[in-house]
A = this chain, B = another copy of it.
């Protein structure tokens, strides 16, 4: 009841104006609202395109592929060869063309294989059905569709099939149902099948050509870049986090920039889904750039998992750093130098690993950095055992001790990341850097 009052007040004011004026005001309001919405939308779309121009190119590429396919429809001689089924070529382009080359290849190969096997199977069933008498025929057809569709749909839940053939299963069921059911009417099944396969081949080829040769977006490249970028972010935020904690309030400006940098690890926490999908698509891609056909993409997933484990710890570290209780200054100063050094060691190792992946070369200095890290951990242990809490209650040093303890845990997890990077380096045959000092770990069989 109370809430109605302001409303009736406004409508009272409005009723003074004539109906035309009100209409005009409404119209102006509408125009303004539309204009501001369009402006906001325009800005958002512009930012989207400016941040990643490949998205704009992707749109254009789909347009090009469709325009190419329609050439097959307009050009008479080809039209007669391919027949009315040219729409299957259009359909293939629309559903197969994906953002990455791997995506297009996955869908194209799946579509081709599924159409072929389902078509062959359906023609077999059609032959059996046509021999089984008028009453049995629809039963044979329906039962076969029911059974195959059920089994194929269920098979999608098997993880390997889900990863490699999810789209293929849809096309398999689709083609089988269409052929088995339409077989009831059409007798020229084989001719139809040939037509269908040739149009799909045209559509798939156009997709492959455009996606590989016009500004290609390789899933493998993206995965490689994602992992190294995340590793750099992890390094930055670890250093930023610890710097921000130990820095004095005088250097406030720098503190702020550090704490901004320190939030970068959050990207790592949520990148599992994109890593998995990129790794699955990368496996479909041919050799490109520095990557061979059987590049060990799944190792990137393992590196990603190791990085996430490290990021969980950084997340907890961040929680402790923002705690209200602060350790007394003399204690903080006692540990500041070594903690900052330890964080910088970890950060250096991560950056070196990331560079090693970027350049696809074994790092010559990583073993040295790791021994430095071990020294820092030892030193921190020593300083911690010298630390006395007699003058102040332990409670005050709680966050400081936790930070130190989490840093030691983080150092461990950084080493796990290095191990995974090493696995990748071995599996992908990263080059040894020509270096005077022998590489202890991977010095075996280098041209000897």
**Residues of chain A at the chain B interface (Cβ within 8 Å):** 44-45, 48-49, 55-56, 58-60, 62-64, 66-67, 70, 73-74, 87, 90-91, 94-95, 138, 141-142, 145-147, 149-154, 157-158, 170, 173-174, 177-178, 181-182, 184, 269-270, 272-273, 308-309, 312-313, 315-316, 319-320, 323, 381, 384-390, 393-395, 398-399, 401-402, 404-406, 409, 412-413
Chain B residues contacting A404 (CB-CB under 8 Å) are 398
> Cβ of A66: which chain B residues have Cβ within 8 Å of it?
145-146, 149, 173, 177
Q: Which of B150, B323, B390, B405 contacts A390 (CB 8 A)?
A: B390
Task: Among B73, B315, B394, point to the contact of A385 (Cβ < 8 A).
Answer: B394
| A395 & B390 in contact (Cβ 8 Å cutoff) | no
The residues of B that contact A44 with a CB separation of less than 8 Å are 158
A184 touches B74 (CB 8 A): yes
Q: Is the CB of A62 within 8 A of B149?
A: yes
Q: Decide: B272 and A95 in contact? CB cutoff 8 A.
A: no
Contact A384 B395 (CB under 8 A): yes
* Residues of chain B with a CB closer than 8 A to A394's CB: 384-385, 387-389, 401
A385 to B395, CA, bound (A): 5
Return 23 A-B CB contacts under 8 Å, by A number: A45-B154, A59-B149, A59-B152, A59-B154, A63-B149, A64-B146, A66-B146, A66-B149, A66-B173, A70-B141, A87-B178, A90-B174, A94-B170, A94-B177, A95-B174, A312-B315, A313-B316, A313-B319, A384-B393, A385-B394, A388-B389, A388-B394, A402-B405
Identify 17 new A-B residue pairs, CB closer than 8 A, beyond the known A59-B149, A95-B174: A55-B154, A58-B153, A59-B152, A60-B150, A63-B145, A63-B149, A66-B173, A67-B142, A70-B141, A87-B181, A90-B181, A319-B409, A323-B409, A381-B395, A388-B390, A389-B389, A401-B401
Point out the residues of chain B lying under 8 angstroms from A309, CB to CB: 315
Smallest CB–CB gap between A385 and chain B, Å? 4
Interface centre among A49, A142, A154, A308 (most CB of B within 10 A): A154
Q: Which of B138, B154, B319 has a CB less than 8 Å from the CB of A58?
A: B154
Q: Given the complex, which residues of B lie within 8 Å of A319, measured CB to CB?
A: 313, 409, 412-413
Q: Name the 5 nearest CB pairs between A and B, nearest first.
A: A59-B154, A63-B150, A402-B405, A316-B316, A385-B393
Q: Give the Cβ gap from A368 to chain B, nearest Cβ, in Å.
A: 25
Q: Which residues of B contact A141 (CB under 8 A)?
A: 70
Question: Which residue of B58, B74, B153 contacts A62 across the interface (Cβ within 8 Å)?
Answer: B153
Q: Please tell me if the beta carbons of B401 and A384 are within 8 angstroms of each other in the complex.
A: no
Q: Which residue of B lies closest to A402 (CB)?
A: B405
Enumerate chain B residues within 8 angstroms of A412, measured Cβ to Cβ.
319
Task: Give complex CA distance A222, B263 in Å.
Answer: 32
Chain B residues near A59 (CB, 8 Å)? 149-154
- Known contacts A66-B145, A142-B67, A393-B385: does B177 contact A56 (CB below 8 Å)? no
Selected from B55, B60, B173, the residue in CB contact (under 8 A) with A157 is: B55
Contact A173 B62, CB 8 Å, known A49-B154, A67-B145, A395-B385: yes
Q: Which of B87, B95, B170, B395 contacts A182 (CB 8 A)?
A: B87
Separation in Å of the A339 CB from the closest CB of chain B?
14
Cβ 8 A contact of A48, one of B67, B158, B393, B413? B158
For A146, give its contact among B55, B63, B94, B174 (CB under 8 Å).
Answer: B63
Q: A158-B48, A316-B316, A320-B409 are in contact. Are A384 and B398 (CB under 8 A)?
A: yes
Q: Looking at the assembled complex, report how far the CB atom of A105 sits from the nearest CB atom of chain B, in whole angstroms.
A: 18
A401, B390: Cβ atoms closer than 8 Å: no
**How far, in whole Å, are A317 and B300 apart by their CA atoms in the complex?**
26
| Complex: A312 Cα to B66 Cα, angstroms | 47
Instruction: Report the Cα distance A66→B142, complex, angstroms.
Output: 9
By a CB distance below 8 angstroms, the chain B residues around A182 are 73, 87
Q: Max chain B CB contacts within 10 Å: which of A56, A67, A405?
A: A405
A362 to B63, CA, bound (A): 54
Which residues on the B side are within 8 Å of A55 (C-beta)? Answer: 154, 157
Given known contacts A401-B402, A409-B316, is B73 in contact with A181 (CB within 8 Å)?
A: yes
